[in-house]
A = this chain, B = another copy of it.
């Protein structure tokens, strides 16, 4: 849960701008994808080396270069050179404990986001950092590891020429990719929502420590989602209203739409948090109710039999001189007395409302 913190803490002491990767994905090979397109055509290549991408800013079409894997310092260093990146930007790309943010560089816009994925096996949300660098005719994206991104649909739309993606500049491409990331948040949130509904149903029927643990886990998840998602609002707002020349007026209307989606995601996370808090209270109340039930049963059993027991023990004493013992109907008198005592106690409980419709009777 605190991987983020651990990664961040690992980089303490390094000089500012160190390009050393502090994430957890190490062994996989770095892979590069290059997509060049304009309104008329689109072409995808997978260059072996970054030096083949040096033409990234030559236009006239749009160039999208996607790099999967941040653990190889050589590759990162080369990328910094080829794409002329400031050392702090490189640091932000490889130090994967970043908070989502947007920064205007002299000739580009730099955006860091978190992609989320619901891990069905461990029932928890996983995050992966994506960085975007938007230039006049190009878009660079950096992901922590290959596979599992949410950019497939966009890539497909560009290659097949579907949608308006191909006729637009790299700013629209960046919008489309961020939109895909945010759309995926909804998928993750829906998955969490199912979990919440699931637990909610069980809470009222059978409170058990298992649910408590899951509730606590979900609250933790919601806390972390919030940390990743809330800064995004500002990122999108600044893209929309920043007035950068790199963002076309035609794209602004799409960014406004994206902004609305971001707000919706935030609303949902907050609603989850409120609901989970309410559910913990429900849980506690239910435990208390069950306890009441248990104690009521115990109190009634005990209170009913204790006086009877006493009477029985009384006449079990071995005193020489106990006149009742010699009465002919002593035994039956005592039995009657016991019946009266039991009836009285039961009436007392009925009077208190402990038994009745749902009591033991």
**A residues lining the B interface (CB < 8 Å):** 1-2, 5-6, 8-9, 11-13, 15-17, 86, 88, 91-92, 97-99, 101, 103, 153, 157, 162-165, 175-176, 179-180, 183-184, 186-187, 189-190, 193-194, 197, 204, 206-207, 209, 212-213, 216, 219-220, 223-224, 227, 231, 253-254, 256-257, 260, 263-264, 267-268, 271, 274-275, 278-299, 301-303, 305-310, 312-322, 324-331, 334, 348, 352-354, 360
Task: A312-B317, A317-B318, A319-B325 are known; give 6 further A-B pairs, CB within 8 A.
Answer: A2-B190, A224-B271, A291-B292, A298-B303, A301-B307, A316-B318
Q: Is the interface of A mostly helix, strand, loop or mixed?
A: helix
Question: Which of these, B103, B283, B313, B324, contacts A309 with CB under 8 Å?
Answer: B313
Find A274's partner among B223, B318, B326, B360 (CB 8 Å cutoff).
Answer: B223
Q: How many copies of this chain does one complex carry?
A: 5
Contact status of A318 and B321, CB under 8 A, knowing A193-B5, A291-B291 = no
Measured CB to CB, the closest approach of chain B to A182, in angstroms, equals 9
Q: How far is the CA of A34 from the CA of B129 in the complex (A)?
A: 42
The residue from B6, B278, B331 contacting A321, defined by CB atoms under 8 A apart = B331
**Could you show 14 A-B contacts with beta carbons less than 8 Å apart?**
A5-B186, A9-B186, A98-B260, A204-B209, A204-B213, A220-B275, A223-B275, A283-B285, A294-B354, A295-B298, A298-B298, A301-B302, A305-B307, A319-B331
With A15-B165, A306-B305 known as contacts, the answer to whether A319 contacts B299 (CB < 8 A) is no
B275 touches A183 (CB 8 A): no
Q: Is the CB of A99 within 8 A of B5?
A: no
* Cα–Cα distance between A280 and B280 once the two chains are bound (Å): 12
Assess whether B280 is in contact with A281, with CB atoms less than 8 Å apart. Answer: yes
- Find out whether the CB atom of B303 lies under 8 angstroms from the CB atom of A297: yes
